[in-house]
Amino acid sequence: MLTELKENGKLAARSGWGFAVTPALQEFYTEGDEEEIAYFAYQEAAMSSLRLLAIGDETDFPHRRVVISLDVPVECVHPQPDMGEAVVKLEPAIFTPEQLAAIHVDIEESEEATKKAVELIDAADLGDEDAELAVGDALDNFMAFYDPSELPFLVELL
């Protein structure tokens, strides 16, 4: 997807979904500052990345989560609280490199934990405690931060 963004100058969010600090998410948190609430939305996006990897259509890096943060107009972001406090529908769901705020990618050392989490994500959803721990281990792993200007170099380095 990062290669597509670099080469085509645009990318569609999968099925138009994203994660953001929404009114429902702010209401859910009775304590904590804006940064902590934003981190929750980020973690939800990282979890979603595991689910996308579980689909199995990523061939080059099937065990690396990617979270792309965007700056989009507020009128393009439509909260979907029935889907989760941080879930939003993006309309339009196509974005450009100019809208990038940050890119986060699993580091190579995280691939084994991510692989295990991808294999167990469904079991974790069904309440398997060992699977939940494996998913938690992957989510605890550091994701490298890249500035949007580094997109061309990031694609080459991967």
Residue 157 counted as domain residue: no
Mean pLDDT of 111-138: 95
pLDDT for the residue numbered 14 = 86
Backbone angles phi, psi at 152, to 5 degrees: -60, -40
Contact call for residues 19 and 104 (beta carbons, < 8 A)? no
Expressed as residue numbers, the domain containing 25 is 2-150
Residue 158 counted as domain residue: no
CA distances from 48 to 75, 98, 117, 147 (A): 23, 23, 12, 21
What total of structural domains would you count in the chain?
Answer: 1
What strands lie across the sheet with 66-70, from one edge to the other? 66-70, 100-106, 143-146
Letter string b/e over residues 4-21, b meaning 16 or more CB atoms within 10 A of that residue's CB: ebbeeeebebeeebbbbb
Backbone angles phi, psi at 65, to 5 degrees: -75, 150
Residue 75 counted as domain residue: yes
Residue 10 counted as domain residue: yes
Residue 42 counted as domain residue: yes
Chain-centre distance for alpha carbon 48: 6
Residue 134 counted as domain residue: yes
pLDDT for the residue numbered 140 = 94
Residue 156 counted as domain residue: no
Q: What is the pLDDT of residues 42-101, one digit of tens each?
A: 999 999 999 999 987 777 778 999 999 999 999 999 999 999 999 999 999 999 999 999
pLDDT for the residue numbered 151 = 92
Residue 108 counted as domain residue: yes
User: Measured at the alpha carbon of residue 128, what is the angle toward residues 123 and 132, in degrees to the nearest 5?
Assistant: 85
Mean pLDDT of 122-142: 95
Banded model confidence at residue 144, pLDDT cuts 50, 70, 90: very high
